[in-house]
Amino acid sequence: MPRVASSKPIATIEDFLSAVTEGVQGAIRPHWFLSPVSDGNKGRWYYRGQPFSWKLIPSVGAPKEYGGAEAGHLLKVLPGEKRSTEYNLFNRFQRYAYEYLRLSNASATVAEWEALFLARHWELPTRLLDWSQSPLVALYFALDAEKPLLGEEGAVWGFNFVQTRSNWVDPFTATWTPVPRRPLGPSAPKAVRLVFPVYNSERLVAQKGVFTWHSHPAEDASKYPYSSHLAFKQLLRLRIAPADEAVRRKLIQDLDRLGVNQRTIFPDIGGITKGLWQREVLFEGDRLSKDRRFLSRAAVFDKLPARQKDALITAIDTVLRKARKSKP
């Protein structure tokens, strides 16, 4: 596990904004430098919020579960097929969602990129990873307010982007398809390219979204070796909020006061209706009872993928064994 930039979990908005500012100015040394250059105040920063234990892996490279079945990832070429499952799924999406695709007539490549942004928006597994120009939007997703805590901290990742010829993509000038027919081999250069998207959804606009495109989406991008094909000049990770409901609730309330909530992040009818009742509960509701918190956590645990359940059980067992050994 790479060294973490912040020395302790961040539990207030003030500490978070201070840590982000220090990270951008280079006062906090990022936990891992992809290049020997340390001038963090050059270039532009982008941010992403997620659970602390998650790797920087796009959805198509992560395990999938449904109906009691599990697939390691969707990048394989199945027996009898000439193309990867990823490619076939994307092709099917373009056929089935044709009515909903507002595609330009610029070129076939541009149309593919536009379709890919919309597919990612509606949760088709892709090799795109979501980022935001706003650290507060990233913090919102790191807190994951709709799920009860399972004892895990959140994380806000940030990366410093300094443009080269080969570490970014403009869909209107790109000459290559964003979804390869077959997965790239291990000898192919590892690339993470910043993608400036076509803003074809209100959510993408509201979240100030950008993407990174990953050449090897089953591999943790934070482990990629530095090259000119890498959008990450520097990479920073901050620990967000200890596993405490009161601390998380205060952070969510402060974000809401700053105008970052369900209604502003998801500016459609679903976001409005959900945001209205969520704000009422957030500010006027009572703290969950101990029994309700246990049942809520148990329900979330039951829905976790098998690998995540095993990892959580192992972590709890390790803590208990250490506690037993420390007793006199």
The mean per-residue pLDDT over the stretch 18-45 comes to 59
Per-residue model confidence as pLDDT tens digits over 188-202: 888 999 998 888 788
Identify the band that residue 61 occupies on the pLDDT scale cut at 50, 70 and 90: very high
Residue 224: what pLDDT? 87
Residue 80 region, left (φ>0) first, then alpha (ψ -120 to 50), else beta? left
Q: Give the integer Cα–Cα distance in Å for 51 and 114.
A: 28
Residue pLDDT, tens place only, 256-295 = 999 999 999 999 898 899 999 988 888 888 765 544 444 4
pLDDT value, residue 1 = 32
Query: What is the percent of the chain with per-residue pLDDT over 90, rounded to a whole number?
Result: 28
Report the pLDDT value the prediction gives residue 265, as an integer from 0 to 100: 93
Question: Over 90: is that where the pLDDT of 99 sits?
Answer: no
Q: What is the pLDDT of residue 294?
A: 47
What pLDDT is attached to residue 194?
95
The backbone region for 185, taken as left when phi is positive above 0, alpha when psi lies in -120 to 50, beta otherwise, is beta
HEC per residue, the chain? CCCCCCCCCECCHHHHHHHHHHHHHCCCCCCEECCCCCCCCCCEEEEEEEECCCCCCCHHHCCEEECCEEECCCCCCCCCCCCCHHHHHHHHHHHHCHHHCCCCCCCHHHHHHHHHHHHHHCCCCCCEEEEECCHHHHHHHHHCCCCCCCCCCEEEEEEEECCCCCCEECCCCCCCCCCCCCCCCCCCCCCEEEECCCCCCHHHHHCCEEEEEECCCCCCHHHCCCCCCECCCEEEEEEECCCCHHHHHHHHHHHHHCCCCHHHHCCCHHHHHHHHHHHHHHHHCCCCCHHHHHHHHHHHHHHCCHHHHHHHHHHHHHHHHHHHHHCC
- β-bridge mates for residue 64, sequence order: 71
12 C-beta neighbours (distance < 10 Å), count? 13
- Looking at per-residue confidence, does 68 or 5 come out higher? 68
Which pLDDT band holds residue 305 (cuts at 50, 70, 90)? low
Q: Does residue 158 carry a pLDDT above 60?
A: yes
- Confidence (pTM): 0.79
- Of all residues in the chain, what percent carry a pLDDT higher than 70? 75
pLDDT for residue 37: 37
Per-residue confidence (pLDDT) for residue 40, from 0 to 100: 45
Residue 188 has what pLDDT? 84
- Which segment, 47-61, 142-156, 225-239, is predicted with the most confidence on average? 47-61
Q: Which residues contact 221 (CB under 8 A, 6 or more apart)?
A: 55, 56, 57, 129, 192, 212, 214, 232
Q: So what's the pLDDT on residue 34?
A: 38
Convert the pLDDT of each residue in 24-33 to its tens digit.
766 554 443 3
Q: Where are the domains of the chain?
A: 13-287, 290-328
pLDDT at 140: 94
From residue 3, give the alpha-carbon distance in Å to each of 27, 31, 177: 16, 5, 36
> Mean pLDDT of all residues in the chain?
80
- Residues 247-252: what's their mean pLDDT? 89
pLDDT on residue 4: 39
Residue 53: pLDDT over 90: no
Contact 150, 34 (CB under 8 A): no
